């Protein structure tokens, strides 16, 4: 698999999985069909849109309609399936973690291909991974998960993207480094949810559980 | 009237009417003059700005100062007129519906002129129509009207823009299709307000009134 | 000092001072290290990013990694220093006022170099000055300071940028006009905090203290 094919297919999978989390979240807020689809589209396409604007690339879903169709189709199916099933809220965290891992790595690779400096590329990856969920949470009137004190989220993404940049600098092929880094982000995030891993907080007393 | 003249004048009218709704909403929150003008400018120019960034066009009000002046002038006049009149809150929904109709159609036509795929163009139109009001509601600390369960809003815009794309594909001149589609969006939105038209919601019990 | 050197160094100082205010604000909300750094980066780079997107320039921190490093370094130092000191909340208003003054003037000068019309350039300067703080306040779940009724904020920035444009039109060298305008914004904002200077508000009864 070439790096371009990986970026295309993993990007499409990330769009679909983020659209799914958008609809699940909208469902908890009792939005109607169009409201849920709008949240799905914004969650699925938001991170990559911000990345493309910052890099001054063509916005990925404006030039290739496939992404928009994938987001709408996933959103529609999820809407009607989830209406007839009771989805436990915690389950929602798993597709959200997958979306975070996929988007972070795709975003970093695209920034590197665009020849940004490495620190900028790592931030761009984290932005791509995180912003879709931030938009979803703002639209659904939640506090964005990424800013909640507690489990690793943006830090898991940042660790993964920095690890990938390091592995590639050490000579590893970019496709291999991408898969390893996606696994790392996913494992870190899921472990953080399971074992409540946290970073040091601002005030000393919160350090107890870090 | 050529399509370019229509896009220019209808665009200017949309900017003015959205600036007016921005000031009316800011007035309810007791903002001062500059706060109200900022909300007016953001409401008037926000949707088209997002559209132009996504299409990688020159941002319309940066290259032509007329739009910014129209927004500021309308905002100023509305500020001083509305201070001395008691405007009933429901009345605010009518200019908001006009702004939605005008901006949606102008946004779709501009995206089509830019040769985006049709599904992207329809979404771009809806974004142009809806985002100004979303920004206004966020700045005024309301829940954005477009995400409220209840009356058709984004769906009225989407129906209008899809109808227009269909009419043009069937051979109708774009100016005629634009006027018809603007009327359709406006009628749908006003009828939705008057008769409480809604879409199916996420949970079955809310389907009762759809 | 050339105008380009002034824009570079004052821009860097503005990034650092805004990163500092971001961390101080995040600290009040008990965010962890990464959360606080993200808020610092968004506060420091947000205003200039929006300006560069609107002008269709290369985003300043994507092409020059120095700005991102300055924001992260200032954020890190502030995080660990502020954890061990009790910073009085009112003190926070002073670096915020400095950041407003520096960013407003740098933003206006860059827009003027980009040959935008003068009214657009003044708005662009105000946007650059104000948006970092708006993003910070939204991320920290406060009502953005700029929209709070009360002391001059955006209006101080606007007055400064219009004064600078006027002085340059009257023939003053741009470096001199920049320093004078920065001082004017800073003095207006600090005086507004100290003496509670306000603008006329929407409803007549609030005019009493203007």
Note the pLDDT tens digit of each residue in C27-78. 777 777 888 888 899 999 999 999 999 999 999 999 888 999 999 999 999 9
Note the pLDDT tens digit of each residue in A134-171. 888 877 766 677 766 667 888 899 999 999 999 999 99
Helix, strand, or coil (residue A172): coil
DSSP code for B151:
B
Nearest Cβ partner of A199 from C32, C65, C139? C32
Strand partners of residue B32:
C201
pLDDT of C164 strictly over 90:
yes
Give the closest residue to A13 by CA, choosing from A38, A39, A48, A37.
A48
The minimum CA-CA distance between C55 and chain A, rounded to whole Å, is 12
Name the packing angle between helices C3-28 and C33-55 (round to 10°). Answer: 140
Note the pLDDT tens digit of each residue in A103-133. 999 999 999 999 999 999 999 999 899 988 8
pLDDT at B101: 94
- B202 and A62 within 8 Å at the Cβ level: the answer is no
The minimum CA-CA distance between B146 and chain A, rounded to whole Å, is 7
Question: What average pLDDT does the segment B67-81 reach?
Answer: 93
pLDDT at C143: 64
pTM above 0.90, yes or no: no
Q: How many CB atoms neighbour CB A208 within 10 A? A: 8
Q: How far apart are CA A74 and CA A76, in angstroms?
A: 6
pLDDT of C203 strictly over 50:
yes
The minimum CA-CA distance between A1 and chain B, rounded to whole Å, is 29
pLDDT at C204: 46
DSSP code for A203:
S
pLDDT at C201: 65
pLDDT of A199 strictly over 90:
no
Cβ-Cβ contacts under 8 Å between A and B: the total is: 66
Q: Which residue of C has its CA nearest to B54?
A: C53
Query: Which chain A residues are within 8 Å of C79, Cβ to Cβ?
Result: 202
Note the pLDDT tens digit of each residue in C165-184. 999 999 999 999 999 999 99
Look at phi and psi of residue B199 and say left if phi exceeds 0, alpha if psi is from -120 to 50, else beta: beta
pLDDT at C208: 36
Q: How far apart are CA C73 and CA B60, in angstroms?
A: 37
pLDDT of A75 strictly over 80:
yes
pLDDT at A150: 67
Best A129, A147, A208 residue to mutate vs chain C (most C CBs within 10 Å)? A147
pLDDT at A159: 93
Best C35, C134, C138 residue to mutate vs chain A (most A CBs within 10 Å)? C35
Nearest Cβ partner of C147 from B35, B65, B83? B35
Helices and strands (H, E) in chain B, number of each type = 8, 0
Note the pLDDT tens digit of each residue in B159-198. 999 999 999 999 999 999 999 999 999 999 999 888 888 7
pLDDT band of residue B83 (cuts 50, 70, 90) is confident
Nearest Cβ partner of C154 from B27, B34, B61? B34
pLDDT of C6 strictly over 70:
yes
Query: In this structure, are residues A144 and A100 in contact, taking their beta carbons and an 8 Å threshold?
Result: no
Nearest Cβ partner of A69 from B119, B147, B158? B119
Nearest Cβ partner of C34 from A124, A143, A155? A155
Give the closest residue to C161 by CA, choosing from C147, C145, C144, C174.
C174
pLDDT at B205: 43
The minimum CA-CA distance between B80 and chain C, rounded to whole Å, is 8
Q: How far apart are CA A48 and CA A197, in angstroms?
A: 28
Query: In this structure, are residues B107 and B125 in contact, taking their beta carbons and an 8 Å threshold?
Result: yes
pLDDT at A141: 67
Helix, strand, or coil (residue C198): strand
Could you tell me which residues of chain A have a Cβ less than 8 Å from any Cβ in chain C? 53-56, 116-117, 119-120, 123-124, 143-144, 146-147, 149-150, 154-155, 158, 198-204, 206
pLDDT band of residue A206 (cuts 50, 70, 90) is very low
Query: Which chain A residues are within 8 Å of B119, Cβ to Cβ?
Result: 65, 68-69
pLDDT band of residue B150 (cuts 50, 70, 90) is low
Query: Which chain A residues are within 8 Å of B158, Cβ to Cβ?
Result: 34
The minimum CA-CA distance between B69 and chain C, rounded to whole Å, is 8
The pair of structure tokens assigned to C84 is 């061990």
pLDDT at C141: 67
- B149 and A31 within 8 Å at the Cβ level: the answer is yes
Strand partners of residue B151:
B198
Question: What average pLDDT does the segment C147-157 reach?
Answer: 78
ipTM above 0.85, yes or no: no
Chains in contact with A via at least 3 Cβ–Cβ pairs below 8 Å: B, C
């Amino acid at each position: 698999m070439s790096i371009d094919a990986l970026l295309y297919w993993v990007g499409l999978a990330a769009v679909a999985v983020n659209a799914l989390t958008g609809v699940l979240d909208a469902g908890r807020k009792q939005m109607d069909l169009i409201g849920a689809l709008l949240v799905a589209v914004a969650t699925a396409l938001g991170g990559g849109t911000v990345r493309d604007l910052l890099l001054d690339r063509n916005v990925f879903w404006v030039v290739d309609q496939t992404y928009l169709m994938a987001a709408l189709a996933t959103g529609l199916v999820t809407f009607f399936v989830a209406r007839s099933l009771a989805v436990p809220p915690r389950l929602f965290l798993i597709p959200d973690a997958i979306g975070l891992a996929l988007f972070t790595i795709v975003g970093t690779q695209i920034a590197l291909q665009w020849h940004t400096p490495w620190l900028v590329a790592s931030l761009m990856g984290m932005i791509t991974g995180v912003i879709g969920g931030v938009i979803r949470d703002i639209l659904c009137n939640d506090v964005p998960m990424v800013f909640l004190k507690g489990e690793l989220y943006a830090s898991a993404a940042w660790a993964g993207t920095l690890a990938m940049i390091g592995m590639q600098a050490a000579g590893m092929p970019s496709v291999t480094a991408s898969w390893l880094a996606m696994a790392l982000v996913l494992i870190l995030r899921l472990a953080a949810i399971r074992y409540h891993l946290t970073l040091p907080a601002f005030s000393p007393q919160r350090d107890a559980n870090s």
